[in-house]
Amino acid sequence: MKNPEISAGKAEGAKPALSLDVAGIIVAALLLLSIGLALALWFLVTKIQETSTTIKTEKLKLVQEEPQPVKSTLVAPAPSSQERAVKHQGSTRLYDDALKECQAHSYSKAAVMIGNSIVQYRTELGKDTPDDLDKQTLATRYRLIAHCHYKLSNMRLAVFDLTSAIKLAPGTADDYSNRAIAYQSLGYFQQAHEDAETASLLESQQKVKRQIVKSDE
């Protein structure tokens, strides 16, 4: 006959072995689960990267295939002398009247009229870009209004007018020479000296050009 205590002891000793097997199974299951999750995550990231690359490629194709606007090489023809005269007849009439006032020594009135003729000329241009002839025309008017301001002893405005003329049509010795006189009257001796040197240089260049023209004749 078996001893009940011995049988009970054997039964109790078998329980830890069963617990170890269950724990191993659980650990293995968790390990497999983590591996599966890692694989799924890697697969998802790879798909996202592939999709992003595809989208970028398609966008690049669309940009490359997008038709570029054709730049026009057509240049608007310059207006004829008759068209120019009709277009600027209002400002030209003002300038002619101002010139008469200037010749009559009515410098204050002439200066106002020339200023109005300049404003109207620019208005007549509208959105058109001034060509070389327009710039020469405006520069001539700025020179005349500078002369009026000089006669009125308003040297600051004379400097402003001559600077405007130089910007429109650079390279005229008289403009620099007259501005040097105005600068000197205002006490700006450095600027006057620089303008006088520029006027002298331009005058020398113009003399050389005249000599070349005479030799060609």
Annotate 155-216 with DSSP letters as a single string: HHHHHHHHHHHHHHS---HHHHHHHHHHHHHHT-HHHHHHHHHHHHHHHHHHHHHHHHHHHH
Does residue 3 have a pLDDT over 90? no
Alpha carbon distance 211, 14 (integer Å)? 128
**For 140-164, what is the mean pLDDT?**
96
Mean pLDDT of the chain: 78
What pLDDT band is residue 58 in, cutting at 50, 70 and 90? low
Burial class of residue 116 in the structure, from the number of CB atoms within 10 Å of its CB (0-12 exposed, 13-18 middle, 19+ buried): middle
Which amino acid, one-letter code, is at 197? E
Q: What is the pTM of this model?
A: 0.60
Which residue, 107, 121, 122, 116, is CA-closest to 158?
107
The answer to whether 126 and 106 have CB atoms below 8 angstroms apart is no
Asked whether residue 3 is domain-assigned, the answer is no
47 three-class SS: helix
| Other residues' Cβ atoms within 10 Å of the Cβ of residue 131 | 13
Number of domains making up the chain? 2
Alpha carbon distance 134, 15 (integer Å)? 111
87 and 143 in a common domain:
yes
Alpha carbon distance 94, 76 (integer Å)? 28
178 and 150 in a common domain:
no
Q: Which domain range does residue 206 map to?
A: 171-217
Q: Per residue in 100-144, pLDDT tens?
A: 999 999 999 999 999 999 999 999 888 778 888 889 999 999 999
**For 89-95, what is the mean pLDDT?**
91
Does residue 72 have a pLDDT over 70? no
119 and 175 in a common domain:
no
Q: Per residue in 165-208, pLDDT tens?
A: 999 988 789 999 999 999 999 999 999 999 999 999 998 887 77
Asked which of 108, 124, 154 is the last residue of a domain, the reply is 154
Does residue 64 have a pLDDT over 80? no
150 and 123 in a common domain:
yes
146 and 102 in a common domain:
yes
Which amino acid, one-letter code, is at 129? T
Alpha carbon distance 145, 136 (integer Å)? 14
- Highest averaged pLDDT of the listed ranges 70-74, 171-175, 211-215: 171-175
Asked whether residue 1 is domain-assigned, the answer is no
